Structure 1
Amino acid sequence: MSARSRLPPALHGARGSSLSETRCGWRASGLWQQGRVGVGGRASRRVTGWTVTSNRERLARLVPPTLARVAAWSACLIIIGFVANYVIGFVARLRIVTLPVAVALLLTALLFPLTRRLRAAGLRTIYATWITMLVALAVLGVTGWIIGVRANDEFPGLVRQVQATAKTVEGWLYTGPLHLEPNQLSKWVDDIATMITEQQRQITSTVLAGTVVLIEVLAAIVLLLFVTFFLLKDGERIWVWFLKAFGSAAPRVDRAGRTAWVTLSHYVQGTVAVAAVHGVVIGIALAVLGVPLWAALAVLIFLASFIPIVGIFFAGAVATLVTLGAKGPIYALIFVGILIVEQQLENHVLQPLIVGRVLHFHPLAIILVLAVGGILAGIAGAVVAVPIAAVLYRAIPELLHDDPPALPRGPDTPPGPDTPSAPGVPDQNGSDQTSSTDIGDTPRAG
């Protein structure tokens, strides 16, 4: 029996009417006729009056488009989160390798300007690299020696000053507004001493673990020196070799990598400048106030400045406690005032001028990034977390965008900010366009 004979008599020959048969998913419009859809045809095709509806179209009628888009995005985010969790866990387990490599990249970004100047002066790359490494090691060694000598000379005096300050505070607690009883204060002191003794026992019981950690630290330092040396010497050759793995996507990866390196170089050099200002100002203030160990505290402030926002807070707290114990509460309040003024100058003058052009992160974003880095890799993770985030923030858009068109350049079309040139084409000054954005002006092979 034909499809037409199964229709009610009232619908025989009725043109312009419509009917749906949900069992087969057919929708009839106009004059009904029997037909078939060939294999390999479109998902929905009208054949002599019939429309065959695919499963996808029926599902689209049941699921709202907004819900379908949300489900698709959710699935993508779940997959990305799973992969990111696996990668982060893998990197964290290999932190004895990944952290030295990350710190080596930071040191390379800091030291390469010296290597570049030495090469520009006519030295071969190998000699320029060795001189740069020796200068860096000499600066670290001399600084550590000076701090060690001064700390050895000033520490006994600091202990005597802290004892005198403690007696003064004890007398104030007895005769001041708190009117504490001697028994109460003695109990507090005994509790603190007991806690310190327990901590010492725990430290003694973990000497073996500390030895293992010491070996790992020494191995990480050796790896750090090797990676820094070869990045200074063969950075460009390493990058070119790395790009070969990306095939046709190499130009895009190259552009993203060079953008990331420029961002990292500016960030590291700017942060070092800000940290140096911190250390010098705080060191002078502590020296003027007559605080012992002012040189060591200045270096601590300098190192802590590499952890934005949080580092200077903790280092300043340590310096304040030393000032309080050595010179008393009045000097401690004066130092806190100096620290607040210097911090405001950094936030409103130094950071916007030096680092602000590279890092445009909200303070909340910086805190979250530091928290993630600290959870994954402790203090070292907090140090490298912000520069890694800054690099990703700048490099990912370059990686996702299409390559800019390479326009031919001639006497009638001078290069400008809106006229990109093809890689390897010299600009008006005769320099190669690719060399202007080298990985931190990475050195060529010596």
Structure 2
Amino acid sequence: MTPERKRLTQLVPRTLLRLAAWSLCLIIIGWAVSYVVQGVAALRIVMLPVAIAFLLTALLFPVTRRLRAVGMRPIYATWVTILIALAVLGGTGWIIGVRANDEFPRLVTQVQATAREVQGWLQTGPLHLQPTQISEWIDQIAAQVTQQREQITQTVLTGATVALEVLASIVLLLFVTFFLLKDGDRIWSWFLKAFGSATPRVDRAGRAAWVTLSHYVQGTVAVAAVHGVIMGIVLAGMGVPLWAPLAVLIFFASFIPIVGIFFAGAVATLVTLGAQGPIYALVFIGILIVEQQLENHVLQPLIVGRALSFHPLAIILVLAVGGIVAGIAGAAVAVPIAAVIYRALPELMSDPPVALPPGTATPQKGDAGPPEAAPATEAAPATEAGLPASAAPGPGATADPGPRSRTSGEEAPGVPETAGSGTAAQAPATPSEAPRPR
């Protein structure tokens, strides 16, 4: 220790020095993370389509792989996969549009009837409100809407301006997804060339991240499908209009953990309340809570796996960060990105396991070093580093390829007798075998 450092440790406690060092490291890391977040937020028009393209690739790649397995060329397999996905999305959208167009007038009629029932209950129920009070509330709500009309109009115009950006993002999304499905392995091999000696470590981290992403996306889609089908059956059984669009809304909202199901459940509850009244709405809320608990404690661990689950607090924080950076789309991709980073970092930071020769004993905890060499007077073990006893050469000796009897110790024809440290004819006498002077 230098005199200056010794004097510093005498003036400042060692604990305070360590805290200062850790604080400096945390400040530097926070500064770097803030710049990364700002860069991602500035490039969200590019980053979000790329992130969603990876999610779609993880979902669609099993189809492409099976098409390749039956002999289809990669380009054709990719095109067939993309067309199947577009057909499914287009067909679903067409069915939802037709159902919504047919059932929306009935929904409006039922909502008006429910509003009249609620107004009558407010007047004749325990609240005993006067019609003038109800009219005043309605007028206040209308005034608030009128005051916010300018802001609503500006929001609509801003949304129309952003439509071109959304269209460009969709084109980029399809483009990236197509080439990831077609040339994903070649792109990964090209990407690894930039890391030199760290290529094996980066390769392990990337493969672990891809396995995690695939399991997460495929499991989440399965869970969301089960959730949407069950809620759709419940809504249809209650006679709620627009049950098919609501089921699809619940399906897509399930991709945003915790927050998404609350939003979709609230919309479905409001529609049920307006169409069928408060009793049906309360029944739907109870069924939704029970189904959500079954999903969290049975379906999610069974399909997605406990290895990919996060604590609810971590999910809320990740969703908050994703929503701040990129809105609803950022919240949708935040959890899978966090899962990928969580699984890839250990592989990136750890060293690869060292492959031991066959037959070598694994060092136990507490071993100070390699095992000591056996004395020259003792016979070598039957196998040393996976070689026969006759083939275990000593220092400076040449390994003999010929066989040797393990039981009698007789040498094979044409092969001199060997010992653990070399041939018997050339081995020097040990101190115990040297003649003692008289």
Q: TM-score range by the shorter chain?
A: 0.7 to 0.9
Deviations 1:285-343 (A, max 9, x none): 00010000000000000000001111111111110000000011111111112111111
Any conservation in 1 of the 2:40–2:325 contact (CA below 8 Å)?
no
CA drift at 1:356: 3.2
Report the equivalent of 1:418. none
Partner Cα distance (2:126, 2:64) in 1: 63
Partner Cα distance (2:313, 2:164) in 1: 37
Please show how residues 93-104 of structure 1 align to structure 2 within 5 Å: 93-104=42-53
In the superposition, the TM-score normalised over structure 1's length comes to: 0.79
Partner Cα distance (2:147, 2:49) in 1: 34
- Are 1:357 and 2:341 matched, yes or no? no
Classify the secondary structure of the residue corresponding to 2:307. Answer: coil
Give 1:153's aligned amino acid: D
Give 2:333's aligned amino acid: V
Partner Cα distance (1:246, 1:96) in 2: 28
Deviations 1:91-119 (A, max 9, x none): 11100000000000000000000000110
Partner Cα distance (1:372, 1:289) in 2: 38
Task: Tell me which moved more, 250-259 or 190-199.
Answer: 190-199
- Are 1:230 and 2:179 matched, yes or no? yes
Regions of 4+ moved over 6 Å: none
Report the equivalent of 1:77. 26
180, 185, 196: which is aligned to 2:134? 185
CA drift at 1:394: 0.7
Any conservation in 2 of the 1:150–1:295 contact (CA below 8 Å)?
yes
Give 2:210's aligned amino acid: W
CA drift at 1:231: 0.4
Report the equivalent of 1:150. 99
Partner Cα distance (1:208, 1:140) in 2: 27
Please show how residues 37-436 of structure 1 align to structure 2 within 5 Å: 44=2, 54-407=3-356
Classify the secondary structure of the residue corresponding to 2:310. Answer: coil
Partner Cα distance (2:55, 2:307) in 1: 15
Classify the secondary structure of the residue corresponding to 2:194. Answer: helix
Any conservation in 2 of the 1:106–1:268 contact (CA below 8 Å)?
yes
Query: Would you say how many aligned residue pairs link Structure 1 and Structure 2?
Result: 360
Partner Cα distance (1:377, 1:363) in 2: 21
CA drift at 1:404: 1.9
Give 2:208's aligned amino acid: T
Partner Cα distance (1:364, 1:383) in 2: 16
Any conservation in 2 of the 1:263–1:358 contact (CA below 8 Å)?
no
Any conservation in 2 of the 1:316–1:339 contact (CA below 8 Å)?
yes
- Aligned CA-pair RMSD: 1.4
Identity of aligned residues (%): 77
Any conservation in 2 of the 1:252–1:398 contact (CA below 8 Å)?
yes
Partner Cα distance (1:178, 1:63) in 2: 70
- C-alpha distance 149-343 of structure 1, shift in aligned 2 (>3 A): same
Any conservation in 1 of the 2:99–2:242 contact (CA below 8 Å)?
yes
Partner Cα distance (1:302, 1:406) in 2: 47
Partner Cα distance (1:195, 1:89) in 2: 36
Q: Whose relative contact order is higher, 1 or 2, with alpha carbons under 8 Å and at least 6 apart?
A: 1
Classify the secondary structure of the residue corresponding to 2:306. Answer: coil
Task: Tell me which moved more, 168-177 or 207-216.
Answer: 207-216
Partner Cα distance (2:131, 2:168) in 1: 52
Classify the secondary structure of the residue corresponding to 2:256. Answer: coil
Partner Cα distance (1:140, 1:168) in 2: 39
Partner Cα distance (1:208, 1:301) in 2: 28
| Ranges in structure 1 where 5+ consecutive residues have no aligned partner | 1-42, 45-53, 414-446
Classify the secondary structure of the residue corresponding to 2:308. Answer: coil
Deviations 1:348-401 (A, max 9, x none): 110111123332311111111111111111111110111111111111111111
Give 2:110's aligned amino acid: Q
In the superposition, the TM-score normalised over structure 2's length comes to: 0.80
CA drift at 1:207: 4.5
Any conservation in 2 of the 1:155–1:293 contact (CA below 8 Å)?
yes
Give 1:177's aligned amino acid: P
| Ranges in structure 2 where 5+ consecutive residues have no aligned partner | 361-438
Partner Cα distance (1:124, 1:408) in 2: 41
Partner Cα distance (1:216, 1:276) in 2: 30
Partner Cα distance (2:231, 2:262) in 1: 13
